[in-house]
Amino acid sequence: MKIPLPTTRRKARIEIIPLIDVIFFLLATFVMVSLSMVKNQGISVNLPSAATATPQERERAVTITIARSGDVYLNQEKIAPDLLPQRLKQLQTENPDMRVFINGDKEAYFGNAVQILDEVRSSGITKVAIQTKQGESLQK
């Protein structure tokens, strides 16, 4: 009779290299998904170009958009121009350090943008910026 020799059992172990590959794949997937979920706050307008355009801090900001048709939007919500100063004062009491970004379509009436800018400043808001896209300042 043959006596079986004790066999050495190999201990189970976790391979670290494939685990790192999976973690990097998941990390890259989450980064790509989160980047695709970023939405621009505002109405789609054709912004004018400016050679001196610089990025501004968008934290706690209010966006006012003037569409080509002359419609005014406050954070993507259509608002009557005569109600804008009252709504801005309400937002300023909630956040005294508020910034206002004015988006104006390139083909919108310039008088509307000046009127909105005047209403923003008369509401006591001093941090106002007009949004543009970076590019050449003069079209040839």
* Rounded CA Rg of the chain: 28
Q: What is the mean pLDDT of residues 47-72?
A: 69
The residue ranking higher by pLDDT, 133 or 115, is: 115
Closest CA to 135 of 5, 32, 46: 46
List the domains of the chain with CATH numbers.
49-134 (3.30.420.270)
Identify the burial level of 57 via C-beta atoms within 10 angstroms of its C-beta, where 0-12 means exposed, 13-18 middle and 19 or more buried.
exposed
Q: What is the mean pLDDT of residues 57-66?
A: 74
Report the mean per-residue pLDDT for the chain: 76
pTM for the model: 0.53
- Distance CA(48)–CA(138), nearest Å, equals 10
- Distance CA(49)–CA(2), nearest Å, equals 90
- Distance CA(102)–CA(62), nearest Å, equals 9
Q: Is the pLDDT of residue 15 over 60?
A: yes
- pLDDT tens profile 79-127: 887 888 888 888 888 887 788 888 877 777 777 778 788 888 888 877 7
Q: Is the pLDDT of residue 45 over 60?
A: no
Q: Is the pLDDT of residue 23 over 90?
A: yes
Q: What is the mean pLDDT of residues 22-26?
A: 95
Partners of residue 72 on adjacent β-strands: 66, 79
Q: Is the pLDDT of residue 13 over 70?
A: yes
pLDDT at residue 53, rounded to an integer: 54
- Distance CA(129)–CA(56), nearest Å, equals 8
